[in-house]
Structure 1
Amino acid sequence: MTAPDHSPPSAAGRVAMLIVAAGKGLRAGGGVPKQYRQIGGTPLLRRTIEAALACDRVSAVAVLIGENDDAHYADCIAGLADPRLQPPARGGDTRQATVLHGLRALAHLAPDIVLIHDGARPFVSIEVIQASIDAIAAGHRAAVAAVPVSDTLKRADPESGAILGTVERNGLYAAQTPQAFRFHDILDAHERAASEGLASFTDDAAVAEWAGLTVVLTPGETGNVKITTAEDLRRFDRDSATREPRMDMETRVATAYDVHAFEAGNGVVLGGIAIPHDRALMGHSDADVVLHALTDAVLATICDGDIGHHFPPSDPQWRGAASDQFLDYAVDRLRQRGGRISHLDVTIVCERPKIGPHREAMRARIAEICGTPLHRVSVKATTSERLGFTGREEGIAALATVTVRLPEQNDDITAQGGHA
């Protein structure tokens, strides 16, 4: 490792991650850019974005997309509700121009550190990301994730294929991403290169080197591969079918039921959507019976009590509170245990208001709160044929079923209560 520059160290401060995903990716086939092709049912780019968001030291994530990729990108991030994810920015004619566009788009956030990462490297780990941040926070001005070259390297004639010699691999490294920089350093370097008409740099570290910055290496990982070809996609898609069993993942299903009575009012909140009605639902919070049932079901998958345990109605801070924060809290606790949502299903039982006109808005809002794709959320409604308290229009009931995938080793984690 090279010693740090002697200029004043940079505190970690605000860290932005720029994901470069504006290329055509035609070598992977399939009729769409490779970053939107699926691995194990999930778009490659979404996996990359989720990997970036998994590091809580990253303050903002910005994605650079192609000129005509708006619809692909919208489908890719559907239901991904993280306030750190910025609106996408447009790429340029080259990768170098694309990165410059992205850096300019980040300027209003005034980050201290920027990580530039390939959208086609979906398996980057938190450890690799954190090592990149640490290098800049320690005083370096530029850093590149890399792994030592382990294969024997040959130099050959490009026309005949005849070997001309063996390359000494000691001291050789294969560069990966993320590549980390002090934000203003790399922005200035890219601006200077563009102003001088230089457009042939193969990565951002090369731009930094040209600008006179010392670039150091940080630990990469062999698993932090860049997916390039159709065969790469097929291989990782095949691997995804066996990856979960090797991780000892299990499926858990939990159900929950909630009910709220009507009281005087002029509207109800169901599934995070305000619906005009001639009455309101009675409750300490906003009485969203749908989100309450889903919250209880999510907590049940990790054996973590119920909504009343975490948000007791005796606590005045929850009076009139929006219930989306309860569900968001439950999903966050699931993710802290390594779990992820496979499916959310809720049935609303009431005579009125009519649910049909609001069903899709509820699905979209639930998907947004939970950070899950829309196709994993089901909302349906029924009446009780005028029987019982719902039939007499005395209140509304909701039944929720939640299916998750969870690492088996988390069975032994003791759930801890507390407020959000």
Structure 2
Amino acid sequence: MNVAIVFAGGTGQRMRNTARPKQFLELYGKPIIIYTLEIFQSHPDIDAIIVPCVDGWHDRLRDMARKFGITKLLKIVPGGKTSQESKLSALRTLKDICSDRDIILMHDAVRPLITPHVISDNITSVKTFGSAITVDPFTETGIISSDGKTVETTIERQRLYIAKAPQSFYYCDVLAAHEAAVDMPDLTTIDTCTIMTTLGKQLHFVPCDRCNIKITTPEDYYIFKAIYDLRESQDVLGI
């Protein structure tokens, strides 16, 4: 079984919108989270979806899922105070559902431009290497600064990649990692890739294109709109 855990526990303070969390902002009458869920819903290799969701939005998410035909949504679980709590809550929910060798794809609700190809590549990578970290090559010059004001040194961009999502693993491995992170306070707000590397796990890359953005700021929302409009035009024109 392949299960997508789509995290919707954040409130989106950097979006500067107090009316609703960023994952529930709409584009053309459809919430961002639904755009994301639709990709997993339509993928033939995804069997179920779990969503850790921000308090107060569970019922509305269920209504949205019914409205837009997200039939693979298996459970909505409470989001935690940190991303680590949300992930662990979702993973523990699967104890009676998943076997050790089932594949878990960890994704952000506010990454709605993920492609079916990347989902397939994640699943293949886990079957082949035991892990999949979706990455985008770094295209700028990396700078290290201790004081935040002056350049200490630079890093060759050829060696730098940006970790994105999905991040995918066998269920037994990812559950054990997040259980171990409970006793590691510095790992409460970071992604699964960092937890795994801290625990000494070797992780395998899955490349994605630069469009796989995370909608965090108002500017990101308009980038999402532009890319979505472009893809729709390409589909219509057959480009």
Asked if Structure 1 and Structure 2 have the same fold, meaning a TM-score greater than 0.5 normalized by the shorter chain, the answer is yes
Task: Report the Cα distance in structure 1 between the residues aligned to 2:174 and 2:186, rounded to whole angstroms.
Answer: 15
Alignment correspondent of 1:116: 106
Task: Report the Cα distance in structure 2 between the residues aligned to 1:136 and 1:239, rounded to whole angstroms.
Answer: 29
Match of 2:15 among 3, 24, 28: 28
Aligned residue pairs, count: 236
1:86-114 CA distance string (max 9 Å, x none): 12111111001110001011222215110
Task: Report the Cα distance in structure 1 between the residues aligned to 2:94 and 2:209, rounded to whole angstroms.
Answer: 27
Task: Report the Cα distance in structure 2 between the residues aligned to 1:19 and 1:32, rounded to whole angstroms.
Answer: 18
Task: Report the Cα distance in structure 2 between the residues aligned to 1:163 and 1:35, rounded to whole angstroms.
Answer: 36
1:126-180 CA distance string (max 9 Å, x none): 1111111001111x22220101111122234544x33333221122111110001
Alignment correspondent of 1:85: 73
Task: Report the Cα distance in structure 2 between the residues aligned to 1:240 and 1:41, rounded to whole angstroms.
Answer: 14
Alignment correspondent of 1:127: 117
Q: Is the deviation greater in 76-85 or in 59-68?
A: 76-85
Alignment of 1:342-353 (within 5 A): none
Over the matched positions of the two proteins, sequence identity in percent amounts to 27
Match of 1:141 among 130, 133, 136: 130
Q: Is the deviation greater in 22-31 or in 191-200?
A: 191-200
Task: Report the Cα distance in structure 1 between the residues aligned to 2:90 and 2:68, rounded to whole angstroms.
Answer: 21
Is 1:220 the counterpart of 2:204 in the alignment? Answer: no
Structure 1 position 208, deviation (Å): 1.6
Is 1:183 the counterpart of 2:191 in the alignment? Answer: no
Structure 1 position 59, deviation (Å): 1.0
Of structures 1 and 2, the larger Rg is shown by 1
1:263-283 CA distance string (max 9 Å, x none): xxxxxxxxxxxxxxxxxxxxx
Conservation of the 8 A alpha-carbon contact between 1:142 and 1:205 = no
Which letter does structure 1 place at the counterpart of 2:141? T
Structure 2 residues not aligned, in runs of 5+: none
Alignment correspondent of 1:356: none
Task: Report the Cα distance in structure 2 between the residues aligned to 1:84 and 1:169, rounded to whole angstroms.
Answer: 40
Task: Report the Cα distance in structure 1 between the residues aligned to 2:227 and 2:203, rounded to whole angstroms.
Answer: 35
Alignment correspondent of 1:101: 89
1:203-253 CA distance string (max 9 Å, x none): 10111222332111112221111110012113433554554233226xxxx
Change (3 A) 1:165 1:65: same
Is 1:248 the counterpart of 2:236 in the alignment? Answer: yes
Conservation of the 8 A alpha-carbon contact between 2:65 and 2:71 = no
Relative contact order, higher structure (CA 8 A, sep 6+)? 2
Structure 1 residues not aligned, in runs of 5+: 1-13, 250-407, 410-420
Task: Report the Cα distance in structure 1 between the residues aligned to 2:98 and 2:111, rounded to whole angstroms.
Answer: 26
Alignment correspondent of 1:56: 44
Task: Report the Cα distance in structure 2 between the residues aligned to 1:197 and 1:154, rounded to whole angstroms.
Answer: 27
Task: Report the Cα distance in structure 2 between the residues aligned to 1:150 and 1:171, rounded to whole angstroms.
Answer: 10
Alignment correspondent of 2:180: 192
Q: TM-score, normalised by structure 2?
A: 0.89
1:315-372 CA distance string (max 9 Å, x none): xxxxxxxxxxxxxxxxxxxxxxxxxxxxxxxxxxxxxxxxxxxxxxxxxxxxxxxxxx
Alignment correspondent of 1:261: none
Task: Say which SS state the counterpart of residue 209 (structure 2) adopts.
Answer: coil
Alignment correspondent of 1:335: none
1:278-324 CA distance string (max 9 Å, x none): xxxxxxxxxxxxxxxxxxxxxxxxxxxxxxxxxxxxxxxxxxxxxxx
Alignment correspondent of 1:66: 54
1:33-57 CA distance string (max 9 Å, x none): 0000012321100011011112111
Alignment correspondent of 1:360: none
Match of 1:47 among 23, 35, 49: 35
Task: Report the Cα distance in structure 2 between the residues aligned to 1:37 and 1:74, rounded to whole angstroms.
Answer: 16
Task: Report the Cα distance in structure 2 between the residues aligned to 1:235 and 1:145, rounded to whole angstroms.
Answer: 20
Alignment correspondent of 2:2: 15
Which letter does structure 1 place at the counterpart of 2:49? V
Greater per-residue strand proportion = 1
Root-mean-square deviation (CA, aligned residues, Å) is: 2.1
Task: Report the Cα distance in structure 2 between the residues aligned to 1:226 and 1:118, rounded to whole angstroms.
Answer: 8
Task: Say which SS state the counterpart of residue 207 (structure 1) adopts.
Answer: helix
Greater per-residue helix proportion = 2
Structure 1 position 71, deviation (Å): 4.1
